[in-house]
Structure 1
Amino acid sequence: MRKGTKRKAAPKPKTKPAEDQVNEPSQSPAEETNSEGPSRNAELDPSPGAAGEPSRKRAKVAKPETETEYFAEKRNLEDLWLQVFPVGTEWDQLDMVYEYKWNFTNLEEALEEGGELHDKKVYLFGCTEPQLVPFKDQSKVTMIPVVVAVVSPFPPSDKIGIKSVQRETEEILPMKQMKMDWVPYIPLEKRESQVEKLKNSQIFILSCNQRRAGLRHLKIERVKKFEYCLPYFYNPLQEDELEQSTVVDLLFPIDPKPVFGEFDWELDDLQEFTDNLIKEEELPADQKEPFKTYVKEKVREAKKANREARETRKKAREALSQETRDAYKDMKFYKFYPVPTPDTPDVSGVKAPFINRYYGKAHKVI
């Protein structure tokens, strides 16, 4: 911690009520007299004055004692982690994220002079990781805030992925459709600066304009979309590292109950798969052939989608400039966890490099 700023509190001046100050000359207490003689507060000198009367001495006014107050000096990036929106956190759990006064001085130091990320353009987004961690002789599930820093000369993506185990399909939407965008972060020392002076900002944060108070006006499906959001990222140079899914989701519509399940065309044998469903009375025997036809069609659709996706990525990769290719090659992901303090749980034992299904693993965990 930096030493606080020492500041002397000035004594408050004594003032008369407003009605007493009108058209009245100012006098010090020592000089106040009435028409009948010296003030009662005056001290008398036994030696005679010019007129043979005792002379007055000025009243001694004691100097007010000044109190020294200390004001904690705020760090320049102290509220950075608070400004970063925790993407994908359920709205009713946001208060749990800020239950503790988490310390992210490791993130601040990395961005300040001498730090690993100093003078680099970075894009920050937040997320939360619920973990069972000890604190003050007891363990409980804690919503741990995490900040991911992406070192890149341009925004890593302008899209958001929406996917969960509760949703059958995956959506890739523009950020602005979910009221999110990359915005410059303004350090405390520059908060008074004009917007024009921030064009050269090096720190950008993923922000969300959706307010919790407005959720009651939204449909449940819209509210849930915010909770299923994941920051999206696609690197066209990592085509060889992408593993396309060979699994299709099944929903065979028959009465009285549809058939749910997953079929992996590389691992599962269709004949055996179907016979097992009949054996387990999940599928009527007279629906065996229609079901097999249904599964084959789903597999054809999935393979076609994979093939089209590969072609799209190939064209996108070929259209990249050399500068953009170099930027993707040099792009780095840093994952920051809170620093242990006496007032917060120690999360050092649950740190993990995995970010999400799109970003994969961080290059460095701090």
Structure 2
Amino acid sequence: MRRPRATPRGRKRKAAAEAAKREEVGGSSSGGSKSPEELPKESKASTRGKRVKAPAAVKLKTEPEFFPDKRNLEDLWQAAFPVGTEWENMDKLREINWNFSNLERAFEEGGQLHGKKVYLFGCTEAQLLVVKGEQKVVLIPIVVAVVSSIPPSDKIGIKSVQRETEDIIPMKAMKMAWVPYIPLENRQSQVDRLNTQIFTLACSQRNLLLKHLKIERIKQYDYCLPYFQPLKADEDEDDTVVNIMFPLEPPVVSDFDWELDDLEEFTDELIKEEALPNDQKDAFKVCERT
């Protein structure tokens, strides 16, 4: 018995079923694996993630700090070397912000030292004070002002209770000298162009080099004191003050300033004090003029 032939419609259905089956098998085999070109793209896309912008930093408004201007002579007391102070105590003087505004005002117009040539040196005095609730020995700096037209001395005296004698040596031997003090507002100017009237005692001995000195040499600084001696001013310096001696019994001895004193008032004052007889007034005035 013959098998019936497949009709064209049946052939098409069979071919379509086989094609669908092949596509299903091919899709399952290719769907589980991907090409190397596709793998990096997918991994990069999965790990990159979404970018998030960081919040902007908040700017806090800070109030400006104001520092007081330095006074013109603020460091004058520090420029005056504290003679007779132990080297190990030098740094202790700066532990406290000492205020020497009274010294600064003395150099201002109307002050006691204004317009005068002044030589300054320092020293210290130990005082038992209460600091932060505790008793403590504090070295108080002291500044000594000497009004003089010439340097008061170029010598240093070395004396202590342990020493039998006092040694008088030149300041240079102790690396000390009178140096001009330059106010803060004139620090940028050349020293030789400044007509300074303030001089301070300075010491060029460096603290770091003390370890190379002998103990006796170091102790000399502990016992230093300025040595003052009467010095004569230059002979060519103009001086308007004269010494007067009028021949009487007893003689009239006085100083007269040709610039500041009035002869008539000066004579009347002597008569008032009964130092000069009234009948000698004219003779005294003639003596004054000669």
Q: 1:201 to 1:168 in 2, by over 3 A?
A: same
Superposition deviation, residue 67 in structure 1: 5.8
Distance 2:155 2:69 in 1: 38
Q: 1:72 to 1:171 in 2, by over 3 A?
A: same
2:66 alignment partner, one of 49, 70, 81? 70
Distance 2:172 2:79 in 1: 18
Larger Rg: 2
Superposition deviation, residue 209 in structure 1: 0.2
Distance 1:159 1:321 in 2: 24
Distance 2:213 2:238 in 1: 43
2:145 alignment partner, one of 145, 149, 170? 149
Superposition deviation, residue 323 in structure 1: 6.7
Unaligned runs of 5+ in 2: 1-60, 242-290
Superposition deviation, residue 197 in structure 1: 1.4
Aligned to 1:204: 199
1:89 alignment partner, one of 75, 85, 88? 85
Summarize the alignment of residues 42-61 of structure 1 with structure 2, pairs less than 5 Å apart.
none
Superposition deviation, residue 69 in structure 1: 4.3
Amino acid at match of 1:73: D
1:194 alignment partner, one of 169, 190, 193? 190
Aligned to 1:355: none
1:227 alignment partner, one of 196, 208, 222? 222
Large movers: runs of 4+ above 4 Å: 65-69, 319-324
Superposition deviation, residue 166 in structure 1: 1.6
Superposition deviation, residue 72 in structure 1: 1.5
SS of the equivalent of 2:112 reads coil
Q: 1:321 to 1:133 in 2, by over 3 A?
A: farther
Deviations 1:291-350 (Å, cap 9, x if unpaired)?
xxxxxxxxxxxxxxxxxxxxxxxxx89x989979x7xxxxxxxxxxxxxxxxxxxxxxxx
TM-score, normalised via structure 1 length: 0.46
Amino acid at match of 2:103: L
Superposition deviation, residue 218 in structure 1: 1.1
Aligned to 1:22: none
TM-score, normalised via structure 2 length: 0.57
SS of the equivalent of 2:69 reads coil
Q: Determine whether 1:127 maps to 2:128.
A: no
Amino acid at match of 2:157: G
Amino acid at match of 1:181: A
SS of the equivalent of 2:124 reads strand
Identity of aligned residues (%): 64
Aligned to 1:8: none
Distance 1:166 1:222 in 2: 15
SS of the equivalent of 1:70 reads coil
SS of the equivalent of 1:71 reads coil
Q: Determine whether 1:104 maps to 2:64.
A: no
Superposition deviation, residue 172 in structure 1: 0.5
Aligned residues: 182
| Greater relative contact order structure (CA < 8 Å, 6+ sep) | 1
Distance 2:78 2:167 in 1: 28
